[in-house]
Structure 1
Amino acid sequence: MENVQAILLATGETDKLQPLTATVPSPMLPITDRPVMLYAIELLARQGFKEMAVSLYHLAGDVEAYLGNGQRWGVTLNYLLQRDAWGSAGALKWAQPALNQTFVVMPADVLVDVDLEAALAQHRQRQSKATVVVHHFATDGAPGVCPDENGRIQSTVTNGSHPTVYPTGVYIFEPEILNYIPARRQFGILEQLVPALLEAGIAVDTYQMSGYWNRLATFQDYHAAQRHVLYSAWGHAEGLEGLPALNFPSLEGRQIAQGIWVGRNHMIHPSVRLSPPIFIGQNCQIGSDVELGPEVVVGSNVVIDEEATISRSTILDHTYVGQLVNIDGRFVNKNLIVDKVTAESTRVVDQFLLGQVNSLVDNRFQRLWDVSFSLLLLLLTLVVTVPVSLLLLLTNGRIFERVERVGGWPDALLAGSVMDLQRFALWRFCVRKKDGRTTRLGRFLKNWEIYRLPELWNVLKGDLRLVGVKPLTEEDVRQISDVWQQKRHESSPGFTGLWYIQTRPDSSLDEILIADAYYVATRNWREDLKLLSQTPAAWWRRLRRSSIPMPV
């Protein structure tokens, strides 16, 4: 959109929906197996925004790893990373250098179906400096404002009062309002900025939207959002309970019956009983005599064992639901279960009831592919490895060396602590003498990266996969502390991967962890094939950057 900028507030600073948001940033909470933030991105993209700023704070790496540069949605995302929590207005102050014209503020952890074109038209027609997008309806506890008959705010209203309208978290501002926000200080838009503007005599207008809005403040709100998307996509007016349907409900799956959607690569037993509306993500296994529905959302890579019963609930990605387990009105994330009404949570220690599973792509077919392709590569590289082995034996007396590395969690059902990570030894051509000095031949092998070819034997053994995260030393692993960094442990280490394609041999650990986190968030077999095909070109780029001494 011309002459208008957009900024997404994805800082996740509020403590809503705990303990779920302790490990899942609120903008990444799935609505029908898609992060809620995607609804905001797609809404902006449909209304002409091609470039967006994104403010990040809590679990920032998870958000950036999943969204990347935004090209998958036809937009460009520019990230603004905060080291401290500055509040909603403080985030705008932090972004001030990037905001130099009229800009729209969108909350990334709220479901809001607003006509921005109409809101911007009113903002311009009134020559407003600040416009607050409001709704006439809200759930309990929502803060509100009191506008006059012309729609201009007279005062903000605290919780417990009876405001006329409720701010949705969407705002339109002119850049000069940023001067009323103190730098490096907690400052909220509704709580502090709007009162500061009113005190300074600056009119603050409201634009009343009529579409659907859900602030996702409670687990009841969260479930209501799930069911509303399902009923909107189904076209079931009765299920909408008088609320407006979403204009563009997005479900990444195929509708196999009225009100029932399933993703790719699913295995659903013929005896399963389905009561709409239901959404089932990709790579799911659902056993015999399972009962699902109504109002059930199942994420990707979920296993639901025989005779389980699930209704009015959400099962998040990579969750195992055991045999005969009955779930009603709950949110389940691996071994965490939360009541949607009381918000009481419990962690289930019995992994036969609830636990974590890896994606189906990480199982037998992946192993068969790794073994087959690594064998082929070993055969093709014999013309190199055999002469190198003979030269090393003659000049150094040793052919191979073993280096200790740390990999992913070995338990497929329940991930543990960092101390539970798998240890293994990488096989490499020996490039050093017994006293630790690198030989001339060793320098040549390292520069050409030929010394890594024996790692293909690790792929055969199962220590590595062809494509995965970078194998790290134990010292490097001990530096990993943030939750988003630890996500890398959900994937096995690989011979190649995004870390090899996008980083350099001298890249920092942070750069490697960002690449690994992005890989884990977006991995699938198509991406693995793409990364594998890009590896020769990446190897050549690395080669050209290095000096290549010839052995003497």
Structure 2
Amino acid sequence: MIIIKAIIMAGGKGTRLKPLTCSMPKPMVPILNKPTMEYTIQLLKQHEIKDIAVTIAHLPTVITDYFATGKKWGVNLEYFIEDVPLGTGGSVKNAENFIDDTFIVLSGDSLTDINIEKALAFHKSRQSKATLILKNEPVPIEYGVVITNADGKVTRFLEKPSWGEVFSNTINTGMYILEPEVLQYYQKGENFDFSKDLFPKLLADEIPMYGYITEDYWSDVGALNSYTQTHFDILEGKVNIEIDGHQIEDGIWIGEGTQLSSQVILNSPVYIGKNCILQEGSKLDAYTVIGDYSTISKDVSIKRSIIWSHSKIGKDTHCRGAVICNNVETKKNVEIYENAVIGEGSQLAEGVIVKPDIKLWPHKKIDENTIVNQNLVWGTKASKTIFGYKDVSGQINIEISPEFASRLGTAFASSLKEESTIIISSDSFHASHLIKNALMTGIASTGAGVMDIGSVVMPANRFAVRHFKGNGGVHVRMDYTDHNLVHIELVDKNGANIQRAAEREIENLFNREDFKRCNADQIKSVIHIENFKDFYISNGMKLLKNISDLKRKAPTILISCKSEAIQQLTSEFLRSIGCGVQEDYRIKGFAKAKDYLMDMKQQVVMGNVDLGAMITEDGEKLILIDKQGRVIQQEKYDALTAMMLLKEGNKNKLILPYTSPYMIEKMAKDHNVEVMRVKSNPASIMNAMLSTEEQGISQYILSYNATWAIGMILDFLVERNMVLEDLVNEMPDLYYIKEKIPCDWQDKGRVIRQLVEDNESQNIELFEGVKIKDERGWALILPDSEKPLFNIYTEGFSEEYAQELSLFFREKVKELLKNQGQ
């Protein structure tokens, strides 16, 4: 074997692992009573790699005091300390003097049993300058995804992609085999990252760079769930490492000096460290790990839990799925539930209950019979995505409680710059007001300003944020289908939904409770805006050029919406511009919107109205019905509004989501108008529309403000002496199909990767999901960002072609879902 040197990156703070990492750097967090980094050193020694550099930054002496020169492990350790964070690449560059030939980079805070010899042989056989060690991961969105060709050559990088960008499930493990010359791209002391900075440059310069896909074990011990799962994997024998202690029977390891009462029950797999005491009646169920010098008292029950060293668990305590750090003491009758973490040195008195997901920071003292249902004092929550497709939603007083809302408001305000003002609103339900008030409390606690515009609709909040030059906005509304479901929507300073990067920042602040706090004299009074609805209506009227003509023609519109507030607002707006309005409240009696649309279509065709308009309950989307009974919704509505914009003649750019039909793009090109395709999430679409907004008809308003959009459409029609069916008659035929295929979350990355591989010779695009084109049209397979399913969009040059494409890719996805072996 070729002998090389190694660099272990051990500078991580372990923020997501707190409170496990309050007093130690992440590489020192114990796995089966040994620091995570110790396993990395043992792996290198196993492969005859003895010269090892260790890059350290956070609490460096904890690492150097434990490992010293490395003599105990038969290796030579040399330390390189960063005074300021340098990034993954910068930290390795800091150790450049240590490097003289090919070297391997490993992380001190991940666990692996990789066969380094095989990876090195791959690196040499490809004459690679940088080999990334990759792993297939079922749910890859929290990692960097790397795309390679059949020979293993790297062709593309995606850093923590959304589901729409998951073109493979092959992730970057953070382990690399490198040649020294690749570090010449940067200067020593520069802050740079391998995956974000160096590797893209190597790719652009066509430097030989390959991905070695390992089937060996690898786990990023970076969050509580992966930390506990790593223990379980070791106990199940999934990791090729030696477990310290005597295996007294299959799956049960006991350390030296440990005393077991004859009446102790052990259900494998179980690991117990050295010099522990287990008293009679105690029961350790599967996947329990006990640290050295710990005491388990009488009648204690522990399951799927990890208890560190020098802890004492009191009589009749029950512990389920928790982590208990060093030197913790619980008295009797304590209950600790799933995903709870008890910080080092904490003391839990008799009868304490620690609820699921609760984190106690080190050295907390909890009084008798206390129910702990919030983090003490600064917390980190096991990684959980708060945001859905476009908002935060959940059951009132269950997922979305006043406490939750207060924390969310605090996190949102903490993510904004100093001296921010947030515009807040809700619908008229009491539950919405409850959550709105809690949000305002959280926002105000940071010193940010709050402007309450009262009970209005979501588009009015967006308008208010822009009009008052707010730094962001929040709107709360109840769901009209599930009356206990509440929606909280956050917008940026433009009134558009916040981007995914902002969502991640808010989620991180929320989970860590890393909030801004202000003094009493910095708390601002809430500004209440009265009668904002009237102001909103008058500003909508200002957008129209032909109100006098509208009043003369007085078209009659049939309006329906599940939200009475939106229906009444729209009716008031339309009457103010001279329209006749018929309101239909019967929509609430229909289980499905499509069933009501059939009924509404008959009313429009047979009734004394000029057109029908059904508005979604958030007040943003619009479905039209013309006098001939044609229903214009979603893609047809987008095509109709695109025609209006093109006829207006002052639009220099049309924004289309990536899922939109090419028919609309062709219309734009026929008018010499540039088309800008964007990701299909609302934030990307809104921000792109707002950035290209011109005077006149607004694509943004037509797409996201149903009330004003109806006014704009009527204004456009009356100016040209047209009716809606005239415009619909001009629309080209559209052969477009949307379908949904259910799947497991873990299958998404695998299926997308297989689709990419199977269609490499085809005309494919990897902008969002996988778009495959042929002579019949195109198909887009897009993993849903919020639900366990695939969205399949197809458009054909004829109805027959569209059906063929849809059927083929629907069956293809189903086939791949069945084939678990690939």
Secondary structure in 2 matching 1:228: helix
Residues 1:225 and 2:230 are matched in the alignment? yes
Counterpart residue number, 1:42: 42
Is 1:250 aligned to residue 242 of structure 2?
Answer: yes
Contact 2:254 2:273 in 1 (8 A): yes
1:169 aligns with 2:174: yes
Q: Answer yes or no: is the 8 Å Cα contact 2:152–2:211 preserved in 1.
A: yes
Deviations 1:35-89 (A, max 9, x none): 2212211111111112211111112111111112212221111111222221111
Counterpart Cα distance in 2 of 1:308 and 1:23: 28
Paired AA for residue 265 in structure 1? G
* CA distance in structure 1 between the partners assigned to 2:262 and 2:350 by the alignment: 23
2:323–2:342 Cα contact (<8 Å) kept: no
- 1:415 is displaced (CA, Å) by 10
How has the CA–CA distance of structure 1 residues 349 and 217 changed in structure 2, closer, same or farther, with 3 Å as cutoff?
Answer: same
Alpha-carbon offset, residue 24 of structure 1: 2.7
Separation in 2, partners of 1:255, 1:91 = 40
Equivalent residues in 2 for 1:363-374, closer than 5 Å: none
Question: What is the rounded CA distance, in whole Å, between the counterparts of 1:137 and 1:55 in structure 2?
Answer: 27
Match of 2:58 in 1: 58
Q: In the alignment, is residue 326 of structure 1 matched against residue 340 of structure 2? A: no
CA distance in 1, matches of 2:339, 2:197: 31
The AA in structure 2 aligned to 1:224 is: Q
Q: State the SS of the aligned residue for 2:22.
A: helix
The separation in 1 between residues aligned to 2:265 and 2:73, in whole angstroms, is 35
Query: Is this contact kept in 1: 2:268–2:286, CA < 8 A?
Result: yes
Q: 1:163 to 1:92 in 2, by over 3 A?
A: farther
Q: Residues 217 and 180 from structure 1, CA distance in 2 versus in 1: closer, same or farther, beyond 3 angstroms?
A: same
Deviations 1:172-225 (A, max 9, x none): 111111112343333221122211222233132111111111112321211111
- Aligned residue number for residue 158 of structure 1: 159
Secondary structure of the corresponding residue to residue 16 of structure 1: helix
Q: Distance in 2 between matches of 1:191 and 1:47?
A: 30
- What TM-score do the two structures reach when normalised by structure 2? 0.40
* Aligned equivalent of 1:291, options 266, 270, 283: 283
Q: Is the 8 A contact 1:230 1:259 kept in 2?
A: yes
- 1:143, CA displacement in angstroms? 1.9
Equivalence for 1:376: none
- Shift in alpha-carbon separation, 1:315–1:163, aligned structure 2, 3 A: farther
**1:18 aligns to 2:23 (yes or no):** no
Is the partner of 1:134 in helix, strand or coil?
strand
- Is the CA contact 2:312–2:329 (under 8 Å) kept in the aligned structure 1? no
> In 2, distance between residues paired with 1:14 and 1:177?
28
Matches within 5 A, 1:459-470: none
Q: 2: CA distance between counterparts of 1:287 and 1:15?
A: 36
Within 1, Cα distance between the matches of 2:62 and 2:341? 25
- What is the identity, as a one-letter code, of the residue corresponding to 2:289? V
Q: Given that residues 331 and 339 in structure 1 are in contact (C-alpha distance below 8 angstroms), is that contact kept between their aligned partners in structure 2?
A: no
Across the two proteins, how many residue pairs are aligned to each other? 345
SS of residue matched to 2:189? coil
1:294-320 Cα deviation digits (max 9, x unpaired): 101111111122211110010011222
Distance 2:88 2:130 in 1: 15
How big is the shift at 1:117? 0.8
Which amino acid letter does the alignment assign opposite residue 283 of structure 1?
A: N
Cα displacement (A) at 1:261: 0.7
Cα offset, 1:138, TM superposition = 5.1
Partner of 1:103: 103
Structure 1 gaps of 5+ residues are 233-244, 355-412, 417-552
The one of 263, 266, 286 aligned to 1:274: 266
Aligned partners of 1:122 and 1:8: how far apart in 2?
A: 21
Counterpart for residue 377 of structure 1 = none
Output the CA distance in 2 between the equivalents of 1:284 and 1:274. Answer: 14
**Aligned-partner Cα distance in 2 for 1:179–1:45:** 29
Which whole-Å deviations, capped at 9, do the CAs of 1:490-537 have from their partners, x for residues lacking one? Answer: xxxxxxxxxxxxxxxxxxxxxxxxxxxxxxxxxxxxxxxxxxxxxxxx
Provide the residue aligned with 2:131 in structure 1: 131
SS of the residue corresponding to residue 201 of structure 2 reads helix
Q: Do 2:109 and 2:220's aligned partners in 1 also have CA atoms closer than 8 Å?
A: yes
For the 8 Å contact 1:51–1:75, the answer to whether it is kept is yes
One-letter amino acid of the structure 1 residue matched with residue 19 of structure 2 = P
- 3-state SS in 1 of match to 2:274: coil
Measure the CA separation in 2 of the matches of 1:230 and 1:45: 23
Q: 1:350: how far off?
A: 3.0
Deviations 1:236-264 (CA, angstroms, capped at 9, x unpaired): xxxxxxxxx323x2221111122111111
Contact 2:13–2:25 (8 Å) recurs in 1: no
Q: In 2 relative to 1, CA 181–220 (structure 1 residues): closer, same or farther, beyond 3 Å? A: same
Higher relative contact order (CA 8 A, sep 6+): 1
Q: Distance in 2 between matches of 1:199 and 1:339?
A: 52
Matched position secondary structure for 1:211: coil
Q: CA deviation at 1:149?
A: 2.2
In the alignment, which residue of structure 1 is the partner of 2:293? 301
Distance in structure 2 (CA, Å) of the matches to 1:200 and 1:106: 25
- The question of whether the paired residues in 2 share the 8 Å contact of 1:256 and 1:262 is answered with yes
Task: Assess if the C-alpha contact under 8 Å between 1:220 and 1:340 holds in 2.
Answer: no
**Structure showing greater Rg:** 2
Over 3 Å counting, the alpha-carbon distance change for 1:346 and 1:22 in structure 2 is closer
C-alpha RMSD of the superposition: 2.6
State the distance in 2 between where 1:176 and 1:291 align. 57
The separation in 2 between residues aligned to 1:72 and 1:25, in whole angstroms, is 21
1:350 corresponding residue in structure 2: 348
- TM-score, normalised with respect to structure 1: 0.59
Distance 1:311 1:341 in 2: 10
Q: Per the alignment, in what secondary structure is the counterpart of residue 80 of structure 1?
A: strand
For 1:328 and 1:311, how far apart are their aligned partners in 2? 5
Report the Cα offset of residue 353 of structure 1.
7.9
The 3 A distance-change label for structure 1 pair 153 and 24 is same
Equivalent of 1:205 in 201, 210, 221: 210
**Alignment-derived partner of residue 316 in structure 1:** 308
- What is the aligned partner in structure 1 of residue 398 from structure 2? none
**2:208 maps to amino acid:** A
* Counterpart residue number, 1:143: 144
Whether the aligned pair in 2 keeps the contact of 1:3 and 1:102 (CA below 8 Å) is: no
Compare 264-273 and 166-175 and name the one that shifted more.
264-273
CA distance in 1, matches of 2:155, 2:20: 37
Local SS of the residue matching 1:190: helix
Residue 144 of structure 1 aligns to which amino acid in structure 2? V
The corresponding residue for 2:117 is 117
Question: 1:185 is aligned with what amino acid?
Answer: E
CA distance in 1: counterparts of 2:285 and 2:155, whole angstroms: 46
Structure-to-structure mapping, 1:431-450, within 5 angstroms: none
Q: Is 1:138–1:166's contact at 8 Å kept on the other side of the alignment?
A: no
Post-superposition shift, 1:14?
Answer: 4.7
